[in-house]
C-alpha cells in the first residue's frame, strides 16, 4: 500500500510550469527581434531566393510567359553574349579606377584634416557635403559643367591653354569623367572613416617613434599606416562593392554611352529587366554580380588575414 | 432568425452587393496637367449618362516611368483596365498579347463611324484588320522658328519660304548656317536637345524620309541605303562643318533662345507663351522625295488583364466618339477626318494662328508615324552606340551606317 501511496503522491505533485524563466526569456527575445526578422525574411531573404529561381527561367514580363530553361541564361551570358564581357570589362575598369583614387584621396584629406586647427571643420564639411547632395542634382550639374566647348571645365582648361575633350561624348574620357565625379561625390564618407581611425591612433606610439628619431613620413609609414589596416580593409571592401553596384550615376550622366563605353553591369541588368523585360536573364546577371562581389570580398579578407599573420 | 443573427447577414449582403452595382474603371495616363485631367474627368462624367454607376479613375504615371510601372502593375496582379499607350511600345504589347482587340466593340458602338479615322493614322494600332488601339493624339512634327532671329539676320522665315514652295532641305541648311554665322545662337536644335540620346529617331527620320529613305522595311535595314546616307551626311556636315546644328555634348535650348529653329509637336506651343520672342511654326522642309510629314501618336488600349474588358471598351468608344474627339482636340490633334476638317480644330489652339494650323491639319492627313517595331527597345539599345560613333567629326558616315545595320539586323 505504501508503494501505491508514494506513486499517487508523485502523480499529484504539481508539474513544473511550462513557461520557465529560460523559455520566457527566449520568447521575449524572439518577439523583440521579430519585426526585423519578419522584414528580413519577406523583403530580403525571400526575394534573394526568388531571384535564384527566376534566373533559371525565361520570363518575359509583358507576355507573362515563364518557362524553365535551366542554366541557359548563365551559359548565354558567360559564353554566347559578347556584350556581357564588354560590360564586365567596363565594371572592372570603373572599380579599378575608382577604388584606389577614392581611397588615396580620402586618406590624404583625412591626414590633412584629422588634427584640430583653424578651418578644419569648414573643410571637413566642404568635402562631406557632396555625400549628402542629391545624386540627381550632382549628375545634372556635372553634365552641364562637362559640355564640349561651352562647359565650365573646358573653359577653365582653355584658360591655361589646354584644349579639353568632349568629356561625355568620347568613350574613354566619359569613363574617366564618371569615375572622377563619382569619387568627388563619395570621398567624404571614406574621409570621415579615416579621420575617426586616425584619431584613435594612440599618441604615445607616435611620440615614442619621434624620440627614436623617426621623421614624419617614417612615423606615418611604420606606425600610423599599419594601425589603419582594419579601417583600410573595411573601406576597400565597401568601396569595391559600391563601385560594382554603381547605377544612378551612370544612368543620369551617360546612360551607358557613348558607344557603350560606360555600360556597367548594374546598368546592363537594369536595361535587361526594365527596358527589355527579360526578368529571367536579368536575374541570372544579378546572381553573377553577387558572386563577383562576394568573391572580391573574400579575396580581400584573405589577403588581410595573410597580411596580419 | 433573430435580429442579432440577421444583422451581420444583411451587412454582409450589402457589402457584397455594393461593388456589383457601382463599377470602377482604372485608367492610366501620363499627363499630370490639371487642364488635361479636368477635360478627361469631364468625358468620364458624360459617360454616366449611359452608365450611371460607372466611375472612371484617371491615374497619372509620369511618362518616363510609364511603361515600366504599367508592366509591373499588369504582371503583379494589380492591372488597370485601360490606359494611354505610346506608339513605340504598342507593337510589343500587341505581340505579347497584353492588350485586347477592340474591333467588334467599336464596330458595334452606336453612331461611332470607324471609317472617319484617317487611314495612315490607324496603321500603327492595327494588326491586319484587327484594331487594338484608337489614337487619341495624332500630332505632326513641325519646325518651330524664332522669328526675331530670322528678322535680325535679314532672312525669310520658314513659313514664308514654305508658302513660296522653297522650303526644302537645301534651303534649311542654308538658313541654318546663315543664322549661326550672324548671331550667337545655333541654327537648329534637335527635339528637346535629345537628338543624340533618347530622340535619335526624331533627329534622323525627318531628313531620311525627305530624301526618300526609310529605317527598316520587312526585316531589311534601310539606314545604309543611298537615300538615308545622303540625309545623314547632310546632318553630319551641318553639325561638324557648318556648326549650325547644336553638336553632341553641347546645349542650345530653342525655348530659351539658344537656337533659332527646332523640331517639335504642337503641344510644345504651350511653352512659347513665356519664351519672350516672336515665333511661328512651319512644315518640315521637303526633300528630293517631296513632302513627307511625320506624326507622333498616342493611343487608347484595354489591357488583357482587365476584369471589366467590355465596359472598358465601351468607354473607349465613348471617349473617341466624334463629339469627344472634338473636345480633346484643344490639346490632342485628332485622327478623325470630320474633326480635322472642321473650323473648331483650326481655331481650337489659342496660341497658333489658323493659317499655321492649316499646315498642321495637312500634316496629319498625309503624315506617317515614326518607324515602329515589336523589338523597339532592343533596336534602340543596339542602335545607340553605333550612332554615338557616327556623331563624331571624323566619322565615315557610310561605314557608320553599315555598322548600324549590322547591329540591328538580328532584332528586325
Nearest to A148 among B71, B249, B384 (CB): B249
Contact A138, A127 (CB under 8 A): no
Q: Is residue B31 part of a domain?
A: yes
Q: Are residues B190 and B259 in the same domain?
A: yes
Domain residue spans of chain A: 76-308
Which pLDDT score is estimated for B261?
96
Residues belonging to chain B with any Cβ–Cβ distance to chain A shorter than 8 Å: 68, 71-72, 74-75, 92-93, 95-98, 196-198, 247-251, 377-378, 381, 384-386, 388-389, 391-392
Mean predicted confidence (pLDDT) in B271-282: 86
Q: What are the chain A neighbours of B75 within 8 Å (beta carbons)?
A: 61-62, 64
In this predicted structure, what is the pLDDT of residue A6?
47
CA–CA dist B40, B106 (Å, integer):
20
Please indicate whether residue B176 or residue B269 has the higher confidence score (pLDDT).
Answer: B176
Is the CB of residue A287 less than 8 Å from the CB of residue A49?
no
* Residues of B with Cβ-Cβ distance to A149 under 8 angstroms: 250
CA distance A126 to A22: 53
CATH number of the domain residue B273 falls in = 3.40.190.10
The verdict on B25 and B111 lying in the same domain is yes
Residues of B in contact with A64 (CB under 8 A): 74-75, 96
Is the model's pLDDT at B233 over the cut of 80?
Answer: yes
Q: Tell me the torsion sign for CA atoms A83, A88, A89, A94.
A: positive
Q: How far is the C-alpha of B390 from the C-alpha of B224, rounded, in Å?
A: 12
Q: Give the residue-averaged pLDDT of B132-150.
A: 94
Same domain (yes/no): B25, B89: yes
Distance CA A283, CA B25 (A): 34
Min Cα–Cα distance to chain B from A36, Å: 25
Q: How large a percentage of chain A has pLDDT more than 90?
A: 66
Q: What gap in Å lies between CA A268 and CA A82, rounded to an integer?
A: 13
Asked whether the beta carbons of A300 and A237 are under 8 A apart, the reply is yes
**Chain A residue numbers touching B251 (CB-CB < 8 A):** 144, 147, 150
**pLDDT tens, position by position, A124-153:** 999 999 999 999 999 999 998 998 888 899
Q: What interface predicted TM-score (ipTM) does this complex get?
A: 0.80
The strand pairing partners of B259, in sequence order, are B186
| Cβ neighbours for B10, distance < 8 A, ≥ 6 positions apart | none
Residues of B in contact with A170 (CB under 8 A): 392
- Same-domain check for residues B63 and B103: yes
Q: What is the dihedral of CA A96, A101, A106, A111, to 10 degrees?
A: 120
* pLDDT classification of A12: cutoffs 50, 70, 90: low
pLDDT tens digits, residue range B344-360?
Answer: 777 767 778 877 887 88
Q: ∠ CA(B274), CA(B280), CA(B285), 5° rounding?
A: 135
Higher per-residue confidence, B204 vs A149: B204
Whether B2 shows a pLDDT value over 70: the answer reads no
Residue A41, CA distances (Å) to A53, A283, B76, B406 in order = 16, 19, 20, 47
Mutating which of A259, A262, A280, A282 best tests the B interface, going by the most B Cβ atoms within 10 A?
A: A259
Give residue-wise pLDDT tens across range B295-324.
889 999 999 999 999 999 999 999 999 999
* CA A101 to each of CA A230, B17, B197: distance values in angstroms, whole numbers, following the listed order: 19, 67, 30
Average pLDDT in the B85-107 region? 92
Nearest to A259 among B75, B378, B389 (CB): B389
Q: What is the DSSP letter of B99?
A: B
Residues B191 and B277 in one domain: yes
Q: What's the domain range around B60? A: 21-139+296-369
Q: Which of A38-42, A255-259, B83-87 has the lowest mean pLDDT?
A: A255-259
Q: Which CATH number fits domain A76-308: 1.10.3720.10, 3.55.50.30, 3.40.50.300, 3.40.50.450?
A: 1.10.3720.10
Per mean pLDDT, which range of A206-215, B177-186, B225-234, B261-270 is the poorest? Answer: B261-270
User: Residues A194, A124: contact at Cβ < 8 Å?
Assistant: no
Q: pLDDT: is B367 or B55 the higher one?
A: B55
Q: In this predicted structure, which of A15-29, A194-208, B122-136, B253-267 has the lowest mean pLDDT?
A: A15-29
Q: Inform me whether the pLDDT recorded for A107 exceeds 90.
A: yes
- Cβ contact A64–B75 (<8 Å): yes
Do the chains contact at B71 and A62, CB–CB below 8 Å?
A: yes
- Residue-wise DSSP of B217-268: ETTEE-TTSHHHHHHHHHHHHIIIII--BPPTT----GGGTSEEEEEEEGGG
Enumerate the residues of chain A whose CB falls inside 8 A of the CB of residue B250. 147-150
Q: Tens digits of per-residue pLDDT, B17-52?
A: 444 468 999 999 998 888 889 999 999 999 999 999
Which grid coordinates belong to B359?
499646315
- For CA atoms A196, A202, A207, A209, give the dihedral sign: negative
Give A181-232 pLDDT, tens digit per residue: 999 999 999 999 999 999 999 989 989 999 999 998 999 999 999 999 989 9
Same domain, B300 and B287: no
Residue A1: pLDDT above 50?
A: no
- Among residues A302, A273, A274, the alpha carbon closest in space to that of A287 is found at A273
Is the predicted pLDDT of residue B374 greater than 70, yes or no?
A: yes
Are residues B338 and B193 part of one domain?
Answer: no
pLDDT at A4 over 60: no
Q: Are residues B221 and B360 in the same domain?
A: no
Closest residue in chain A to residue B378, using alpha carbons only: A276
Distance (Å, whole) CA A140 – CA A249:
10
Amino acid at each position: 500500500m505504501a508503494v501505491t501511496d508514494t506513486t499517487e503522491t508523485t502523480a499529484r505533485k504539481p508539474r513544473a510550469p511550462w513557461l520557465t524563466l529560460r523559455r520566457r526569456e527566449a520568447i521575449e527575445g524572439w518577439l523583440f527581434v521579430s519585426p526585423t526578422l519578419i522584414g528580413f525574411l519577406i523583403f530580403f531573404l525571400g526575394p534573394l531566393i526568388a531571384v535564384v529561381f527566376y534566373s533559371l527561367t525565361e520570363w518575359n514580363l509583358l507576355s507573362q510567359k515563364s518557362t524553365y530553361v535551366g542554366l541557359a541564361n548563365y551559359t548565354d551570358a558567360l559564353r554566347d553574349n559578347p556584350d556581357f564581357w564588354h560590360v564586365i570589362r567596363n565594371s572592372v575598369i570603373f572599380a579599378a579606377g575608382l577604388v584606389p583614387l577614392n581611397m588615396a584621396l580620402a586618406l590624404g584629406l583625412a591626414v590633412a584634416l584629422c588634427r584640430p586647427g583653424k578651418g578644419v571643420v569648414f573643410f571637413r564639411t566642404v568635402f562631406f557635403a557632396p555625400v549628402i547632395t542629391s545624386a540627381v542634382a550632382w549628375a545634372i550639374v556635372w553634365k552641364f559643367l562637362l559640355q564640349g566647348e561651352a562647359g565650365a571645365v573646358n573653359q577653365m582648361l582653355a584658360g591655361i591653354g589646354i584644349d579639353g575633350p568632349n568629356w561625355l561624348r568620347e568613350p574613354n574620357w566619359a569613363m574617366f569623367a564618371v569615375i572622377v565625379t563619382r569619387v568627388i561625390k563619395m570621398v567624404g564618407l571614406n574621409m570621415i572613416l579615416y579621420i575617426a581611425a586616425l584619431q584613435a591612433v594612440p599618441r604615445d606610439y607616435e611620440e615614442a617613434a619621434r624620440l627614436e628619431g623617426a621623421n614624419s613620413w617614417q612615423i606615418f609609414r611604420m606606425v600610423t599606416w599599419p594601425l589603419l589596416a582594419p579601417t583600410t580593409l573595411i573601406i576597400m571592401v565597401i568601396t569595391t562593392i559600391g563601385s560594382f553596384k554603381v547605377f544612378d550615376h551612370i544612368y543620369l550622366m551617360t546612360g551607358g554611352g557613348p558607344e557603350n563605353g560606360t555600360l556597367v553591369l548594374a546598368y546592363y541588368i537594369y536595361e535587361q529587366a526594365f527596358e527589355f523585360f527579360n526578368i529571367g536573364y536579368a536575374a541570372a546577371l544579378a546572381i553573377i554580380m553577387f558572386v563577383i562581389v562576394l568573391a572580391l570580398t573574400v579575396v580581400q579578407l584573405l589577403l588581410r588575414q595573410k597580411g596580419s599573420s | 432568425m433573430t435580429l442579432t443573427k440577421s444583422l451581420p447577414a444583411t451587412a454582409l449582403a450589402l457589402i457584397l452587393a455594393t461593388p456589383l452595382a457601382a463599377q470602377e474603371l482604372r485608367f492610366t495616363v501620363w499627363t499630370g496637367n490639371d487642364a488635361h485631367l479636368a477635360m478627361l474627368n469631364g468625358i468620364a462624367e458624360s459617360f454616366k449618362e449611359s452608365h450611371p454607376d460607372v466611375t472612371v479613375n484617371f491615374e497619372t504615371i509620369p511618362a518616363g516611368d510609364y511603361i515600366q510601372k504599367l508592366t509591373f502593375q499588369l504582371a503583379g496582379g494589380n492591372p488597370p483596365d485601360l490606359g494611354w499607350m505610346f506608339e513605340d511600345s504598342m507593337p510589343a504589347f500587341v505581340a505579347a498579347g497584353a492588350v485586347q482587340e477592340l474591333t467588334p466593340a467599336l464596330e458595334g458602338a452606336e453612331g461611332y463611324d470607324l471609317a472617319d479615322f484617317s487611314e495612315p493614322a490607324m496603321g500603327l494600332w492595327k494588326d491586319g484588320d484587327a484594331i487594338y488601339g484608337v489614337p487619341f493624339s495624332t500630332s505632326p512634327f513641325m519646325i518651330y522658328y524664332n522669328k526675331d532671329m530670322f528678322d535680325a539676320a535679314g532672312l525669310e522665315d520658314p513659313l514664308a519660304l514654305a508658302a513660296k514652295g522653297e522650303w526644302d532641305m537645301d534651303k534649311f541648311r542654308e538658313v541654318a548656317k546663315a543664322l549661326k554665322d550672324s548671331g550667337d545662337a545655333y541654327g537648329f536644335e534637335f527635339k528637346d536637345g535629345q537628338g543624340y540620346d533618347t530622340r535619335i529617331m526624331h533627329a534622323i527620320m525627318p531628313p531620311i524620309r525627305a530624301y526618300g529613305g526609310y529605317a527598316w522595311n520587312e526585316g531589311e535595314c534601310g539606314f545604309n541605303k543611298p537615300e538615308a546616307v545622303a540625309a545623314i551626311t547632310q546632318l553630319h556636315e551641318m553639325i561638324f562643318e557648318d556648326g549650325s546644328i547644336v553638336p553632341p555634348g553641347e546645349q542650345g535650348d530653342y525655348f530659351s533662345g539658344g537656337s533659332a529653329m527646332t523640331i517639335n509637336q504642337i503641344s510644345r506651343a504651350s511653352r512659347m507663351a513665356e519664351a519672350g520672342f516672336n515665333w511661328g511654326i512651319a512644315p518640315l522642309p521637303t526633300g528630293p522625295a517631296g513632302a513627307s510629314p511625320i506624326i507622333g501618336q498616342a493611343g487608347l488600349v484595354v489591357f488583357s488583364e482587365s476584369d471589366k474588358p467590355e465596359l472598358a471598351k465601351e468607354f473607349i468608344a465613348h471617349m473617341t466618339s466624334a463629339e469627344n474627339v472634338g473636345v480633346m482636340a484643344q490639346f490632342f490633334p485628332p485622327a478623325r477626318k470630320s474633326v480635322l476638317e472642321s473650323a473648331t480644330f483650326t481655331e481650337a489652339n489659342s496660341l497658333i494662328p489658323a493659317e499655321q494650323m492649316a499646315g498642321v491639319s495637312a500634316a496629319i492627313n498625309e503624315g506617317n508615324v515614326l518607324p515602329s517595331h515589336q523589338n523597339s527597345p532592343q533596336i534602340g539599345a543596339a542602335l545607340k552606340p553605333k550612332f554615338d560613333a557616327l556623331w563624331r567629326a571624323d566619322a565615315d558616315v557610310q561605314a557608320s551606317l553599315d555598322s548600324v545595320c549590322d547591329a540591328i539586323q538580328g532584332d528586325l
